[in-house]
């Protein structure tokens, strides 16, 4: 474990000239500067673990929002069973680890000069960069939703925060007997079970508070993407007569004036739409995109960009390995592999060749009962990717209140792991 003294001194000398004097716990001559773009599940975890595992690093996290708001659990806000404040965590905890948190917008990355440009502050120089930009929406693929006005009326609520609260208000304002339609893009998108969980818990709200209302699930995919039997089970039983599922329903245009969603085969009218648009890696990562003009290719030993060396990409923005969901749990696990690899590269150690990561996604089927899907992923040297370990993982047999408690326990622990 002890780092070769000479290597350390050499690396330190290289970075020292430009180094900024950071917080009190950062040495005046840091080993190197690492910038992390994005303070979500991936970025926050990466910044913390870089400092936890290598306190000689100068680590700066750039995040545009004042606080972290969790997407997991946020569907319960739509159902009126949770408050957004309870899903909100400030970045103060990271400062205790010596992470410098800069609230700004990372507008561009200069890969030659090795700086991140900010909307307001001075550019941030880096020796290694971790990009965790999450997703942005491909509104150009949904004609009719291109304007700011359209986007403020037809919400995605697929980044937890103001949109979540606004969609809850729209749901409350919808009269009993109204029709609420959720449009799901083609896979891959952020959080595979999320849209179906949303349908389930909003249907639970309708069942209790607006029993004459209907919920249309307009799915661009040919079947439910995640946990299909579990979702179908609760829909056919508890939400019979409320939820109607329409597979192969890809949105091609939205008519804002008449409030009509044009699908390939039909026009759908509803009182309230929630359109989750197709997605891509966050805008700032545009130059790192390699797959389908959407996702950033990486090598899975250290999540280093397959396009630009010295730059790592983690979380929802990456081109996923087989059966790897775009989830907060996965982003948290990517972050640790990437942090370890960044430290290895900066201290002249070999990168670990046997990463093992895992995933667990809890989904609420009612406001008080949940299920999970889990998997373990190991690096396969022949295929050069992470693959699901045979025999690992699986689903819950059915929904329970115990797993709803575990879903909350998971959320609180992973927030502490990433931010506390």
Partner 1 sequence: MKASPRKFIGSMVLAVAALGTAAPQAAAQPSSQPPSERQVRAWAATCAACHNTDGRSIGGFPALAGRNADDTYRALMEFQSGKRPATIMHQHARGYTSDELRRIADWFANVKPAR
Summarize as ranges the residues that interact with partner 1 (CB under 8 A).
1-2, 48-49, 52-53, 329, 332-333, 336-337, 340, 344, 349, 352-358, 360, 372, 374-378, 380-382, 389, 391-394, 396, 400, 402-403, 405-406, 408-410, 412-414, 416-417, 420
State which residue, 317 or 338, has the beta carbon closest to partner 1: 338
State which residue, 152 or 405, has the beta carbon closest to partner 1: 405
State the SS3 of 300-360. Answer: CCCCEECCCCCEEECHHHECCCCCCCCCHHHHHHHHHHHHHHHHHHHCCCCCCCCCEEEEE
Question: Least distance from C-beta 310 to partner 1, angstroms?
Answer: 20
- Cβ–Cβ < 8 Å for 78, 167: yes
State which residue, 10 or 405, has the beta carbon closest to partner 1: 405
Question: Least distance from C-beta 95 to partner 1, angstroms?
Answer: 16
Q: Which residues pair with 326 in a beta bridge?
A: none
State which residue, 198 or 372, has the beta carbon closest to partner 1: 372
Question: Least distance from C-beta 398 to partner 1, angstroms?
Answer: 11
State which residue, 7 or 412, has the beta carbon closest to partner 1: 412
Question: Least distance from C-beta 329 to partner 1, angstroms?
Answer: 5
- Cβ–Cβ < 8 Å for 254, 154: yes
The CA distance from 375 to 243, in Å, is 29
Bridging pattern class, strands 243-246 and 214-219: parallel
State which residue, 166 or 388, has the beta carbon closest to partner 1: 388
The CA distance from 296 to 81, in Å, is 36
Question: Least distance from C-beta 36 to partner 1, angstroms?
Answer: 16
Q: Which residues pair with 267 in a beta bridge?
A: 262
Question: Least distance from C-beta 160 to partner 1, angstroms?
Answer: 18
State the SS3 of 42-109. Answer: HHHHHHHHHHHHCCCCEEEEEECCCEEECCCCCHHHHCCCCCHHHHEEECHHHHHCCCEEEECCEEEE
The CA distance from 301 to 304, in Å, is 8
Q: What residue has token string 């790192």?
A: 288
State which residue, 112 or 354, has the beta carbon closest to partner 1: 354
The CA distance from 61 to 314, in Å, is 14
State which residue, 199 or 414, has the beta carbon closest to partner 1: 414
Question: Least distance from C-beta 340 to partner 1, angstroms?
Answer: 5
Question: Which residues lie below 8 Å from residue 248, measured CB to CB, with a gap of 6+?
Answer: 219, 220, 221, 222, 264, 265
Question: Least distance from C-beta 79 to partner 1, angstroms?
Answer: 21
State which residue, 98 or 144, has the beta carbon closest to partner 1: 98
Question: Least distance from C-beta 357 to partner 1, angstroms?
Answer: 6
């Amino acid at each position: 474990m002890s780092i070769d003294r000479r290597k350390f001194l050499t690396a330190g000398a290289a970075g020292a000239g430009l180094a900024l004097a950071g917080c009190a716990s950062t040495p005046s001559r840091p080993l190197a500067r690492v910038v992390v773009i994005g303070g979500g599940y991936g970025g926050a975890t990466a910044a913390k673990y870089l400092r936890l595992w290598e306190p000689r690093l100068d680590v700066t996290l750039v995040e545009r929002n004042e606080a972290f708001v969790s997407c997991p659990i946020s569907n319960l806000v739509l159902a009126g069973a949770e408050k957004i404040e309870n899903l909100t965590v400030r970045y103060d905890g990271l400062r205790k680890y010596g992470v410098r948190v800069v609230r700004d917008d990372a507008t561009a990355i200069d890969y030659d000069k090795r700086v991140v440009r900010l909307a307001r502050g001075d550019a941030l120089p880096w020796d290694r960069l971790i990009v965790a930009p999450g997703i942005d929406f491909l509104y150009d693929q949904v004609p009719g939703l291109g304007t700011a006005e359209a986007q403020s009326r037809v919400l995605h609520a697929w980044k937890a925060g103001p949109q979540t609260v606004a969609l809850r208000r729209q749901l409350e304002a919808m009269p009993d007997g109204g029709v609420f339609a959720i449009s799901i893009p083609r896979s891959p998108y952020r959080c595979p079970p999320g849209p179906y969980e949303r349908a389930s818990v909003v249907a639970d709200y309708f069942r209790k508070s607006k029993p004459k209302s209907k919920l249309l699930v307009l799915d661009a995919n040919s079947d439910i993407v995640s946990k299909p039997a579990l979702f179908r089970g609760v829909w056919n039983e508890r939400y019979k007569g409320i939820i109607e599922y329409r597979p192969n329903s890809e949105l091609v245009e939205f008519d804002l004036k008449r409030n009509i969603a044009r699908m390939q085969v039909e026009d759908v009218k509803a009182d309230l739409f929630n359109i989750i648009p197709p997605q891509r890696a966050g805008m700032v990562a545009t130059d790192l995109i390699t797959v389908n003009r959407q996702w950033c290719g990486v090598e899975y030993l250290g999540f280093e960009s397959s396009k630009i060396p010295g730059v790592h990409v983690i979380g929802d923005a990456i081109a996923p390995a087989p059966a790897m969901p775009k989830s907060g749990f996965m982003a948290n696990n990517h972050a640790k592999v990437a942090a370890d690899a960044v430290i290895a590269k900066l201290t002249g150690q070999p990168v670990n060749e046997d990463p093992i990561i895992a995933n667990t996604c809890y989904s609420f089927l009612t406001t008080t009962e949940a299920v999970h899907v889990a998997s373990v992923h190991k690096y396969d040297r022949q295929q050069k990717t992470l693959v699901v370990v045979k025999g690992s993982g699986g689903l819950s047999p059915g929904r329970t209140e115990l797993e709803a408690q575990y879903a909350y326990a998971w959320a609180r622990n992973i927030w502490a792991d990433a931010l506390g």
